[in-house]
Homo-oligomer: A and B are copies of this chain.
Amino acid sequence: MPTESKNPEALDHVKANEAEAPSSRLARFSADEPLELDSGVQLAPWQIAYETYGTLNADKSNAILVCHALTGDQYVASTNPVTGKPGWWELMVGPGKPIDTNHYFVVCANVLGGCLGTTGPASINVETGAPYGLDLPVITIRDMVRAQARLVDFLGIDTLFTVIGGSMGGMQVLQWAASYPERVFAAVPIAASARHTSQNIAFHEVGRQAIMADPNWCGGGYIGEGVRPTKGLAVARMAAHVTYMSDESLHQKFGRNLQDRDRLTFGFDADFQIESYLRHQGMTFVDRFDANSYLYVTRAMDYFDLAHEFGGSLPAAFAGTKTRFCVMSFTSDWLFPTSESRSVVKALNAAAANVSFVEIESDRGHDSFLLDVPEMFETIQGFMTGAAHARGIPAPGEAD
């Protein structure tokens, strides 16, 4: 039996070892409860860190699993202990929010390969007593979902009312629907795709090479050396961050505005606001994220190709599904463009699935799913109400 712990003391130590002893809830699986990985490795012991919000109802039919994106974490609607910042999706999840925690029981877990308490490259390898580093097997989106399924088992939940997530979170949603169709009543993949494209792999590879080029990366063994590849990781984050915004949003937010100066300096300082902003993004990121985790989680995204798992047929991934889908994309998202969501919708239609598809007008690029985009909230609220009725549970605001 896995055991559970909550480590409130860690909250006092902002930079405590969140990879090993997270501030959040934690389910530990022992040496005889391995997690089978796509690489063939039986990972054990292993652990999964998670947060919950709201109350599970008597027949356990109101549970929603939120899947996070590349650099997200389990703190979807509560303070991140490392940064001290609010949850990353408090616009979406919380009391009275579209995913109403007064009504639903929300679970969010740190992904496998992450660095905030779920087993990842910064976790201690019990065989060596040292952090895994690159000795951790490469993991996949399916591995992440397998780990989440074990957590859902542990919580005693049979069927999730909804699985929802954006970007890599949306990949997990699709994998959930394909791997465990009977356990997913409704699925909401946002700004996602069923496979990582060549361009996406390319941008990830740039980030990985930036990390690996940093001599402080030490072949992945930097923790043992007492150093960190902060410069390489910052460059990786900067490169990625540009892809999360649209040309239009960058133009509106920064244009060619200068940073705290009247004229060009004819030097290599951050003359432009966009430069200063990117440098800030890079610098703050390294305080909260592990470089090897960045390698592992980007790799998992690159490896994702749901059709490939089903003999090259994406409709086959959803054959006979009874899950209700709400697929969502954003007009200005060029990293996970609408065409990718359309491919998913086409496959769902071919599988005769119950699917609604909404392309939302937004000029804020891929990051739109994290931002205040009212049409997204309204769409999700509407979809969830319909799903609640279909499931036979009251929607928020309705009598129990």
Contact = CB atoms under 8 A, between A and B. Distances in A.
A239 B235 CA distance: 10
A202 B242 contact: yes
Given A209-B279, A256-B196, A268-B295, A274 B239 contact: no
Contacts of A337: 247
Given A38-B266, A213-B214, A231-B213, A238 B206 contact: yes
20 contacts: A39-B266, A137-B266, A195-B256, A198-B253, A198-B255, A198-B274, A199-B245, A199-B250, A199-B251, A201-B272, A202-B242, A202-B275, A205-B272, A205-B275, A209-B238, A213-B231, A213-B235, A239-B239, A247-B334, A334-B334
A332 to B, nearest CB: 12
Per assembly, the copies of the chain total 2
B235 A209 contact: yes
Given A209-B234, A209-B235, 16 more contacts: A138-B267, A138-B268, A198-B253, A198-B255, A198-B274, A199-B251, A201-B274, A202-B250, A202-B275, A205-B275, A205-B279, A206-B238, A212-B268, A213-B213, A213-B234, A235-B235
A383 B70 CA distance: 49
Contacts of A235: 206, 209-210, 213, 235
Interface of A: 38-39, 134, 137-138, 195-199, 201-203, 205-206, 208-210, 212-215, 231-232, 234-235, 238-239, 242, 245, 247, 250-251, 253-256, 264, 266-268, 270-272, 274-275, 278-279, 282, 295, 299, 302-303, 305, 334, 337
Given A214-B213, A268-B295, A205 B39 contact: no
A30 B336 CA distance: 55
A67 to B, nearest CB: 22
Contact of A201 (B209, B238, B275, B334): B275
A105 to B, nearest CB: 35
Contacts of A270: 205
Contact of A206 (B205, B271, B278): B278
Nearest to A210: B235
B231 A278 contact: no
A138 B282 CA distance: 25
Contacts of A206: 235, 238-239, 242, 278
